[in-house]
Amino acid sequence: MHKIDIFDTTLRDGEQSAGINLNTQEKLEIARQLEKYGVSIIEAGFPASSPGDFEAVKLIADTVKNSVVTGLARTNKDDIETAWEALKGGVQPHLHTFIATSPIHMQTKLNKTPEQVIELAVESVKLARKYFPLVQWSAEDATRSDKDFLVRIINEVIKAGATTINVPDTVGYATPIEYGALFKYLTENVNGIERVKLSAHCHDDLGLATANTLAAIENGATQVEGTINGIGERAGNVALEEIAVALHIRKDYYQTDSGIVLKETKRTSQLVSKLTGVAIQPNKAVVGKNAFAHESGIHQDGMLKNPETYEIITPELIGDASTELVLGKHSGRHAFTNRAEEMGFHLSDEKLKAAFVAFKKLADSKKEITEDDLFVLLTDQQVNTPEVDVYELESVQVQYGTSNIPTATVQAKTPSGQVEVVSSTGAGSVEAIFNTLEKLVNGEVHIIDYRVSSVSKGRDALGEAIINLTFNDVVSVGRNASQDVLEASAKAYLNAINRQLIKAHYQERVPVTQ
Ligand code: KIV
Ligand code: ZN
């Protein structure tokens, strides 16, 4: 068995995708869960890209102890020094720097000759090594680069002190056989490749990211990069949970240990989906809702006779115990606190109290409280930032009839502390609510996407609303789970607006040292 390092870039390449904007607290929660999941490296962001990213990377580097924390930097001095300020508190400060190596990127994007690109790469790695004990260098668009140019530049950056070489398939162009062959070629031709880690980084434009990553592992990769649920630019990055489970189920073939705590898979996937607002397709490998559903009669019959007939992965392996009834109406504070801790939540007394109040309210109207319900309540508290003044919905009322004009009235507390009552109409109940809230927030709002789904099973299940919108041209995702989908929709809308206020609040506070 050899060890493969798992490098998670959910908070950098993943967060870079359209419509996702996590705040600092949410990024920290994801990082903590990734640490529990056992990833070797967490790419927490791109510190020089914004004060918000700087703050999140710093907080994560200062907090996480069992995974290495890294941040991205271009080849310039400012990026590298800003990254150092953010990452220096980490247990093993690690920098990820990159430059493009393909002809199209060097000529049209960078306007540099190959020799100039080598010089920039070498200078950046040398500068980074003055600060960081661990420096990863990436050849952006490696799979459309000349192989021998790659060998030359990698020889030079290893001499300059790079400790990891990453070979990204930036545009998801390679096929598994080509990508595997590239790793074999580099392993055979780069001087000193055995002294550094060799990393794969695959995008999924042709749906080949998982196959390509596994091909790289077969051909010498010692680290693989990806995101939870495969989120990321365009078609996304490779889904790390698929790689971890594939390496486990087929360890007879790959003979590789990823160090991932597989029973944390479902929780990690749910947390990322919930906080980013990116839904998981039902038939998604490993973490989709239907990944363990057997519908056809022949399959069900086989499963009853011996589950191994059709089930190569068990729900238990990935920690999928979501339908378990965990607490009821009569459960007390003590049982609630124990359960929250067993589920891995460590909340302050104040937040625990608020979560317990929400639990009691839910238990009054919902017979069975499942682990999925608790997960929603506890996560809401965990990422709650009471120190920032935001909009708070006090009540929403909708008048609807098939032959009436739907009318909504909202009472809400505004960030200035005033209580306002606003009302408006719409073509349907949801539109009436959204039109009313647009009046309340007094800005231009465009709805990009809006979805409602149930958190667990049964007619009394919590309804979760996820909304993607732009508020004064800035994209935001909001979400809420409530027993009534109209209330969830109103709260999700305000949540999207509030997340912008929270982000702005933190950005104002953060000094970026350059
Ligand atoms: O896909 C890519 O090339 C990247 C680099 C920054 C490593 O994400
Ligand atoms: Zn990428």
Nearest by Cα to 246 from 283, 269, 272, 215: 215
List the beta strands (DSSP E) in 337-391: 369-370
Q: Is the pLDDT of residue 466 over 50?
A: yes
Read off the pLDDT band of 302 (50, 70, 90): confident
Shortest-distance Cα residue to atom 1 of ligand 1? 170
pLDDT in tens, 160-181: 999 999 999 999 999 999 999 9
Shortest-distance Cα residue to atom 5 of ligand 1? 140
Percentage of the chain with pLDDT > 70?
97
Q: Is the pLDDT of residue 299 over 90?
A: no
Ligand nearest to the CA of 75: 1
Residues near ion ligand 2 (Cβ under 5 Å):
13
Q: What is the pLDDT of residue 370?
A: 83
CB 18 within 8 A of CB 474: no
Tell me the C-alpha distance between 155 and 27, whole Å.
35
Q: Is the pLDDT of residue 509 over 80?
A: no
Between 304 and 238, residue with greater pLDDT: 238
Q: What is the pLDDT of residue 511?
A: 43
pLDDT in tens, 185-198: 999 999 999 999 99
Q: What is the pLDDT of residue 331?
A: 85
| Inter-CA distances, 16 with 7, 19, 21, 79, Å | 16, 9, 8, 17
Q: What is the mean pLDDT of residues 240-265?
A: 98
Read off the pLDDT band of 298 (50, 70, 90): confident
User: How far does residue 142's CA lie from ligand 1's centre (Å)?
Assistant: 9
CA 171 to ligand 1: nearest atom: 1
CB neighbours of 32 closer than 8 A, spacing ≥ 6? 63, 64
User: How far does residue 82's CA lie from ligand 1's centre (Å)?
Assistant: 19
Q: Is the pLDDT of residue 453 over 70?
A: yes
Nearest by Cα to 448 from 503, 390, 493: 493
Q: Is the pLDDT of residue 210 over 90?
A: yes
User: How far does residue 102's CA lie from ligand 1's centre (Å)?
Assistant: 13
* DSSP code of residue 110: I
Candidate from 9, 12, 13, 143 with most ligand 1 atoms within 8 A of CB, to mutate: 13
Q: Is the pLDDT of residue 403 over 80?
A: yes
- pTM of the predicted protein model: 0.88
Three-state SS at 192: coil
User: How far does residue 170's CA lie from ligand 2's centre (Å)?
Assistant: 5
Q: Which two tokens stand for residue 320?
A: 């999928």
User: How far does residue 171's CA lie from ligand 2's centre (Å)?
Assistant: 8
Q: Which two tokens stand for residue 184?
A: 């074999």
How do the residues of the chain divide into helix, strand and coil, expressed in percent and rounded to 5? 45, 20, 35
Q: Is the pLDDT of residue 512 over 60?
A: no
Q: What is the pLDDT of residue 510?
A: 45
Tell me the C-alpha distance between 164 and 193, whole Å.
9
Q: Is 417 exposed, middle or buried (0-12, 13-18, 19+ CB in 10 A)?
A: exposed
Three-state SS at 128: helix
List the beta strands (DSSP E) in 116-229: 134-140, 164-169, 197-202, 223-226
Relative to beta strand 325-327, strand 369-370 is antiparallel
Candidate from 109, 136, 170 with most ligand 1 atoms within 8 A of CB, to mutate: 170
Q: What is the pLDDT of residue 237?
A: 98
Q: Is 419 exposed, middle or buried (0-12, 13-18, 19+ CB in 10 A)?
A: exposed
Q: Number of helices (H) and strands (E), helices first, in the chain? A: 17, 18
Three-state SS at 150: helix
User: How far does residue 170's CA lie from ligand 1's centre (Å)?
Assistant: 6
Max Cα separation, the chain? 77
Ligand nearest to the CA of 137: 1
Q: Fill in the amino acid letter for 327.
A: L
User: How far does residue 28's CA lie from ligand 2's centre (Å)?
Assistant: 21
Backbone angles phi, psi at 66, to 5 degrees: -105, 0
Q: Is the pLDDT of residue 513 over 70?
A: no
CA 140 to ligand 1: nearest atom: 3
Candidate from 15, 98, 104, 144 with most ligand 1 atoms within 8 A of CB, to mutate: 98
Q: What is the pLDDT of residue 438?
A: 97
CB 145 within 8 A of CB 101: yes
Cα Rg of the chain, angstroms: 24
User: How far does residue 138's CA lie from ligand 2's centre (Å)?
Assistant: 10
Relative to beta strand 463-471, strand 445-454 is antiparallel
Q: Fill in the amino acid letter for 440.
A: L
Identify the residues whose C-beta falls under 6 Å from ligand 1. Answer: 13, 98, 138, 140, 166, 168, 170, 201, 203
CB 32 within 8 A of CB 250: no
User: How far does residue 286's CA lie from ligand 1's centre (Å)?
Assistant: 25
CA 203 to ligand 1: nearest atom: 1
Read off the pLDDT band of 295 (50, 70, 90): low
Tell me the C-alpha distance between 228 and 286, whole Å.
11
| Inter-CA distances, 53 with 36, 99, 137, 307, 381, Å | 22, 20, 20, 46, 22
Ligand nearest to the CA of 174: 1
Lowest mean pLDDT among 28-42, 108-122, 221-235, 470-484: 470-484
Shortest-distance Cα residue to atom 2 of ligand 1? 170
Q: What is the mean pLDDT of residues 217-233?
A: 97
| Inter-CA distances, 486 with 97, 198, 431, 433, 452, Å | 46, 50, 10, 8, 10
Q: What is the pLDDT of residue 308?
A: 83
Angle at 267 between CA 266 and CA 272, to 5 degrees: 100
Read off the pLDDT band of 18 (50, 70, 90): confident
Candidate from 97, 138, 204 with most ligand 1 atoms within 8 A of CB, to mutate: 138
Q: What is the pLDDT of residue 44?
A: 98
Virtual torsion, Cα 78, 80, 83, 87, nearest 10 deg: -140
For 509, other C-beta atoms within 10 Å of its C-beta total 10
User: How far does residue 169's CA lie from ligand 2's centre (Å)?
Assistant: 8
Backbone angles phi, psi at 454, to 5 degrees: -95, 145
Between 119 and 510, residue with greater pLDDT: 119
